[in-house]
Amino acid sequence: MLAFAPVHDAVGAAGAALAHLTTLLEPIAGGAATAAAIVLFTVAVRLLISPLTVAQVRGERRRAALAPQVRELRRRYADDPAGLQRELLALYRSAGANPVAGCLPLLLQAPVLLVTYRLFSTAEGGTGLLDERLAGVALGHHLGDGLAGAAGPLFAVLLAALAALAWWSSRRMRRAAVPAGASAEGPGAAAVGRLLPLLPYAMVLAALVLPLAAVLYLVTTTAWSALEQAVLRRPGSGPAEAAIDRR
């Protein structure tokens, strides 16, 4: 159903890249070379979209700085919702603070997750990756295939790590939203602000139905997000803040 040309081509390209990485890593990682290649592939994807994460943090800071102006607009247009909406849109547009930008780093990973799923659920990639294993468990193994042998402990460790990372990420998202306050949010930002802290838990739910390779991708990308957010949002982070401000 999903094997139309763009997805098939993407799966083939990703399969070739992973096969090449696996060959390079075999002398170091041995039988876990394909799993290590998935981790490196995930890191490469995150590096490509890291400018969007920087833009997300920058936008949050801009919205926080606009809080006094937003409060004043709400006071002036208390009886004119349409006028308030128009003025808020103009204010946020002029400041380059887009409340929806926070969703982009997560949304852009959806195609990568789809490709990983296809790559380790079908023979579509044509690279023999379905036979690769981690700790004796096939990378195409799903929870529904059973928990016998090493599958149970391996999935338990990965799901526990993913749940812990999701909890940490969600808590940090909620804390980051507090300084701006409800009055600093633009149109639609309140709904986005409620949705974003729940998105990390969607990763845990997805891991219940995805193959082991895709679960590895989710754990790696969530851990990267946690580290990235900790660095970018650290008070007095110096170089990180300067980089955000320069962009």
pTM higher than 0.75, yes or no?
A: no
CA–CA distance, 71 with 182 (Å, rounded to integer): 10
The more confidently predicted of residues 225 and 128 is 225
User: pLDDT tens digits for 205-231?
Assistant: 989 998 899 899 999 998 998 888 788
User: pLDDT tens digits for 53-72?
Assistant: 777 777 777 777 777 888 88
CA–CA distance, 22 with 17 (Å, rounded to integer): 9
Amino acid at the residue 10: A
CA–CA distance, 37 with 29 (Å, rounded to integer): 9
Question: Bridge-partner residues for 138, per DSSP?
Answer: 133
The residues, any chain, with a CB within 8 Å of residue 2's CB and separated by 6 or more, are: 114, 118
Asked if the model's pLDDT at residue 139 lies above 80, the reply is yes
| Structural domains in the chain (count) | 1
pLDDT class for 244, splitting at 50, 70, 90? very low
Q: Which domain holds residue 86?
A: 5-246
The pLDDT of residue 49 is 84
* String of DSSP letters for 135-157: TTEETT--GGG--TTTHHHHHHH
Share of the chain above pLDDT 90, in %: 19
Asked if the model's pLDDT at residue 162 lies above 60, the reply is yes
The residues, any chain, with a CB within 8 Å of residue 160's CB and separated by 6 or more, are: none
The pLDDT of residue 150 is 92
CA–CA distance, 214 with 241 (Å, rounded to integer): 33
